[in-house]
Structure 1
């Protein structure tokens, strides 16, 4: 596999940044989790590109608009760059569950778009999330799934029903360290 095909797919809220049951609605509410941006930088240094796959139903609910979502992602990208990291693409679903679209996780539409855009092999591309829907979307297309215990992760683990083979990590930093160490075994 060429280095251009090495990719890690991350959920956003609860994996990269603090999550909120009231939604992350402004750039000021977007706050990185400790170590998450450094974990992205470490993955980049190992030759991995980063794609984010995120449900953003706040748009469909009218809680914020595209300009605000873009401003959040500018802040995220600048914060990552400040520690030497880079996020290559952000794929998001703006719909609510009622829209019954194909891109809202747990449906795999966002991840299918990432496969097509980056021409990756799902079997060698980890999907990291804090919610069951993140893992279900990944498992549906044969991605290795990784649960982080930040955000909704502890509740997700306690509820059970994780896709077979899901690995559990304390946070994104722990995932990055474990994942990169496993490559050299």
Structure 2
């Protein structure tokens, strides 16, 4: 368990982003920054679900292919997918070929469309922002779930979403900047 680490460029970062490459780039430019719009939320929710059981770098390296095959995460387009589309995606080597996760993406797009009748996906997720954001100084202090991620998971499942467990929803909350996920001392802390 450790605090921020100094990279080869002399900059302090969260330990998982210390070395040059796709992970550092994601850490420095995107992780913890707020996003806006339904497609941005559906993309992050989808990618976090696909990451389950895999490394985040695997997902980042396949991200452009995910964007292509899921039509820029347009909920209406994905919601219209049928079994033929699932089979086509199961043959697509540029993405993670997991039938349950592909089917969950379609279910989640359909649930996203249905949620428009209420507040919409973005507004809904934002209601689960923690009142007291964490300020971890080391990886030992970082949580993998929170009361908010548990509540978000339950609420999304109640609205028909799939592959939205509490750990995945915590990772989503970090990714989209519901709170600042960076360690105290990381150069990105407080800059989102």
Greater helix share, structure number = 2
Normalising by structure 2, we get a TM-score of 0.28
Of structures 1 and 2, the one with the larger relative CO (CA 8 A, separation 6+) is 2
Normalising by structure 1, we get a TM-score of 0.29
Greater strand share, structure number = 1
